[in-house]
Chain A
Amino acid sequence: MNRSMMIQLMNAVMYGLAGLLLWLCSRPLVELTILNSKILLIVFIAIMLLFFYFKMPVWICFMTCGLLILYAMHFYFFTNDPLFGPVWLAQFTGSIVQSVGSVWRGEVVEASDLFSAFLFFILFGMILFAIRYWLKKGRLILFSLLAMFSAALIDTFTFYDGSRPIVLIAVVALLMLVFRKWQRFMVEGTEADEPKGHLPWLSVTGLAMAAILFAALLFPKPDSQWSGPSDYLSGFGFTLFQNGSFFSSGQRIGYDEDDSRLGGSLAMDQTPLFTASVSSDPGYWRVAHKDRYTGRGWSNDTPLYIQVPASGETISLLSLYEKNTKTNQQTAILRFDRSSPAILPFTGEPTHVAVAGRNLKVELSTGQLKTENEQKAASEHLVFAEPVYRKSQLRKTDVPPDSKAIRNRYLQLPSKLPNRVRALGQRLTSGHDNRYDQVRAVVDYLRSSRFRYATDQIPRPSRGQDYVDQFLFSTRVGYCDNFSTAMVVLLRSAGIPARWVKGFTAGEYQGQVQETVNGEKKSLNKYQITNADAHSWGEVYFPGSGWVPFEPTPSFNDPSQFASNASTNRGSGTDDVQQQSEDSASSQPDASSSRTQQQEKQSEQQSAGQSDVQQGKGQSTDEPQNTSHITINWTRAVQGLLVVFVAGMAAAWLTRRRWLRALYKRKIMNDPLGSSSDFQHTYQLLLRLLQLNGVRRKNSETLREFAMRVTEGRSRNALLLLTRQYERMLYLQDHTFTDQDAVRAKRQFRHLIVDSNRVSEHQESRRKAD
């Protein structure tokens, strides 16, 4: 093999190692962020590095990078639209423009995922170009250090376990450095010119590395002495990677069709979705239920649609309640905001649904209402039956068994479900003879202090790990999806038919509004539902009563109305329904005030001074607090910026000699010297450049004295000639500056710069030698 081929090959290896290193560093992103596609990142890195390796012109690289970013955007956010269509592009640019606008207005928190991802990919592209530069210049130490630093950072501040990858990263980085060194030998022939010299060299370094690694991995190591800076920092009020949607693995709270992969953290997102004006106090807004648990999430059968009659009657289509359930007739009007998905939520069992100008259909397998063409509706008029469950009825033991259809469908569990989950479900329910108490046992278990409610720092289940098993037995922390799925799976394990329902909580009370319903004016309670109100819960089948919802998530209230015998006996009517029985009160510890977790927090904050007022007025006191969703702590932001600024300034100050020298040199060399003022400017720059070498001109020192002091030999002559020219302008005020002068001055300047390079190199090498 000849020499140039060898060099080519090694170059390729270098690019390969660089790509590998970058991939290792960016792999945590796949787990930590919404960019959960390994292939895409790998392809991105590979294509760009290939282009760099084949030394494509920079503009081609830039264009490719841009196209790749666009493709990634399509891949993540617009998969449903054709790739070569203008539709998604327009949507995409619109969204970006909007986000840029909101960032410009300071609403950083509300930047969309799309925008975050877009910025990430731009940054990623920039990193790739930086790597191209480093590879070209051979600045691999910087690259390796940055790679290891980033890995350590991710390991420290997130739940991503970087202890293994960081070793890998170190190995690859060291390999890269070794290769670089070897490449130098090959190209420059500095140390080992003979090819046979390379093999021992490589083998010695490789063996040394292997030995160290082996020792490092094998020998016992003490635990870290320091718990890591994140606890320390959070003591100061710095919370890292919390509530940032982009960094909260997987998903953002809100309504999403796809539940096949649950897990990861949630971010609170206060985007308003719709308002609901309801004649009663509504329960949860239901969008769909899911039946099949896969071990990772919920999936559905192929959809089966039934047209809703033009009259809007939906009786018996959904069949949520059976004959033993008492219902009250209620009405509701929903108005959807711009950012709402194409959903038609409902509460209770709708008997009459109308959307202006659209036909409706029902998806039977999920109980989901949709417009016929699945387009978004502007508003929805709803008449529904609000159920009141009689506890005595639910507690009855002499009920008929579940029908076969129910059992086939709602007892499904994946075969790979760990046995301990099944065992737990059976153990929890075993002490009770009726279904209601069995369900309560499971719900109370989940609502107990064993489990903690949190939306951030929620790990995703690892490959092959069951979602419920992970929650119940290892993490014990989660949010509604964790709790509701666990409840359904536990109940199914105990042979109780249950299903998983998703939708929204009641939302935030906004006061009373007057609406015209079926020609008559009514006073309705208006609620605002935002993305943060998205929720999931469980429903249990009770023969004779139908599907009864239960709330397994702590700090959320049970949506169902459970009536004791006494209240139902008094007869129907809204008074009756709104009154809470003592049973239900016991199951709803904080039933009186808060509706959502959000509000609960707020009321806690307020409770110190305002608890009386709040009890008197009900939820309406929350209103002023909720006008701004997320308040940025500006003082902290400013402090942070200040710290960054000071640090930047300090770095700039410490390195000023280096960059100022480069800057001045470039300016001096590039000055066209078109006029005397150009010349004066350049001369003054030259003075500054000379002063950077550590000799300052005293105020009382004349230019000639200074020139004599800082220069010698050829550069002294050059500087004296320039000084003479400058003196003419300064002291004679003779500003004639001919082209000839310019040519001469340019030559002198060049002499000086070249000599000063030599001088500073000399100084530096001497400093290093010292």
Chain B
Amino acid sequence: MNSDAESHQMISELIDHVETVVVGKRDVVKLMTTAMLAGGHLLIEDVPGVGKTVLVHALAKSIGADFKRIQFTPDLLPSDITGLSIYNQKEAIFEFRPGPLMGNIVLADEINRTSPKTQSALLEGMAEGHVTVDGVTRSLPELFFVMATQNPIEYEGTYALPEAQLDRFLMKLSIGYPDRKDELLLMDRAPGNHPLRDLQPILSIDDVLFLRRKVSSVFVSDDMKNYLLDLVQATREHPLITLGVSPRGTLGLLRAVQAYAFIEQRDFVIPDDVKKVAPYVLAHRLILNQEAVFAHTDAFSLVQEMVRQIKVPVFVKESLK
């Protein structure tokens, strides 16, 4: 099976496909795809109105999978997302009615608007791949991909996500404002004719699972593993950082880098992949100390800075020759 070329073909088609909906955000689309193929979950944080939801929607609709959307509100209860058992009077039994979390691709919109209690219900599902409702543990489908969006926490009516939960998102992206010319295109678009409406799925669940298996076989050399560890170590030793990257973060980075390399049509990882992906994978896992606040810096730029400083393995070791 000519799987490599085929899978690369699939991925580029998928990315092109999503890009028809959101103009000029190819990088973001790539990173979203990276998260999906790496088997992690995605958090998109940005100000309202830049197209978070549309983007996530577009990716979700491109996959022919069960897509669920949860709009988080302050009064949302855990059972509202996991589902609940309702008494069936006809049959005289409690019948489980699955909640929106039971889908393949879940869009958790404005996740920080709900209470921590509801957020942790999501957390269990994301971490363990199953949810417990009424004392019964129910497995989530094999393809389970949560894309959450949130507003920056400084805005009113938000509950900051707990650290443990943040750690369970593989990547945190922000979208940013479109370029001037892209925004111009956006204005020219006829109202009521949103491309999202007509978007057809182009990948099946099996395709995605197949691609995930391919990603996990992307080769990472010892040099590259050491390079990753150097980076992780640097976050743990950085003077402005209170809490560095956890081993889960390390594993996540490895997956993400593999996925990104695969998206870049390679079956091995190079330092450029790490440099590209690392800030998105690591930044939200760090807790900065007070000095960082005074230094007017944030985690994302700190990771970028570290990536700029860590020595890249460039020479073939003698023993390999």
Binding site for B on A (CB under 8 A): 677, 680, 684, 697, 699-705, 727-735
Given known contacts A677-B321, A680-B316, A731 and B269 CB-to-CB distance under 8 angstroms: yes
A325 to chain B, nearest CB (A): 90
Do B219 and A703 touch (CB < 8 A)?
Answer: no
Is B223 at the interface (CB under 8 A from chain A)? yes
Do A700 and B309 touch (CB < 8 A)?
Answer: yes
Is B26 at the interface (CB under 8 A from chain A)? no
Contacts of B312 in A (CB 8 A): 699-703
Contacts of A728 in B (CB 8 A): 268
Instruction: Report Cα–Cα, A727/B221, bound state, in Å.
Output: 11
Inter-chain pairs besides A704-B270, A732-B221, 10 sampled, C-beta below 8 Å:
A697-B314, A700-B309, A702-B270, A705-B272, A728-B268, A730-B315, A731-B268, A732-B268, A733-B221, A734-B268
Do A731 and B221 touch (CB < 8 A)?
Answer: yes
Contacts of B223 in A (CB 8 A): 730-731
Instruction: Report Cα–Cα, A704/B320, bound state, in Å.
Output: 22
Contacts of A699 in B (CB 8 A): 311-312
B219 to chain A, nearest CB (A): 5
Do B219 and A684 touch (CB < 8 A)?
Answer: no
Do A731 and B270 touch (CB < 8 A)?
Answer: yes
Binding site for A on B (CB under 8 A): 219, 221, 223-224, 267-272, 275, 307-316, 320-321
Contacts of B219 in A (CB 8 A): 731-733
Contacts of B221 in A (CB 8 A): 730-733
Contacts of B310 in A (CB 8 A): 700
Residue of A nearest to B275 (CB): A702
Instruction: Report Cα–Cα, A320/B241, bound state, in Å.
Output: 111
Given known contacts A731-B224, A733-B320, A703 and B314 CB-to-CB distance under 8 angstroms: yes
Ranked nearest first, the 3 interchain pairs of A and B with the lowest CB-CB distance are: A732-B268, A702-B271, A699-B311
A483 to chain B, nearest CB (A): 73
Do A700 and B308 touch (CB < 8 A)?
Answer: yes
Do A684 and B315 touch (CB < 8 A)?
Answer: yes
From B267, B272, B309, B316, contact of A702 by CB (8 A): B272
A685 to chain B, nearest CB (A): 12
Contacts of A700 in B (CB 8 A): 307-312
B142 to chain A, nearest CB (A): 30
B304 to chain A, nearest CB (A): 11
Q: List 19 interface pairs A-B (beta carbons < 8 Å), by A numbering.
A: A677-B316, A677-B321, A699-B312, A700-B308, A700-B309, A700-B311, A702-B271, A702-B272, A702-B314, A703-B314, A704-B272, A705-B275, A728-B268, A730-B315, A731-B219, A731-B223, A731-B268, A731-B269, A733-B221
A256 to chain B, nearest CB (A): 64
B236 to chain A, nearest CB (A): 18
Instruction: Report Cα–Cα, A753/B321, bound state, in Å.
Output: 25
Contacts of B321 in A (CB 8 A): 677, 680
Instruction: Report Cα–Cα, A730/B312, bound state, in Å.
Output: 12
Contacts of B309 in A (CB 8 A): 700
From A730, A732, A733, contact of B314 by CB (8 A): A730
Do A730 and B272 touch (CB < 8 A)?
Answer: no
A94 to chain B, nearest CB (A): 49
Do A727 and B270 touch (CB < 8 A)?
Answer: yes
Contacts of A704 in B (CB 8 A): 270, 272
Instruction: Report Cα–Cα, A731/B223, bound state, in Å.
Output: 7
Instruction: Report Cα–Cα, A735/B311, bound state, in Å.
Output: 24
Instruction: Report Cα–Cα, A704/B308, bound state, in Å.
Output: 14
Instruction: Report Cα–Cα, A705/B307, bound state, in Å.
Output: 13
Contacts of B268 in A (CB 8 A): 727-728, 731-732, 734
Residue of A nearest to B312 (CB): A702
Contacts of A734 in B (CB 8 A): 268
Instruction: Report Cα–Cα, A581/B219, bound state, in Å.
Output: 108
Instruction: Report Cα–Cα, A703/B273, bound state, in Å.
Output: 12
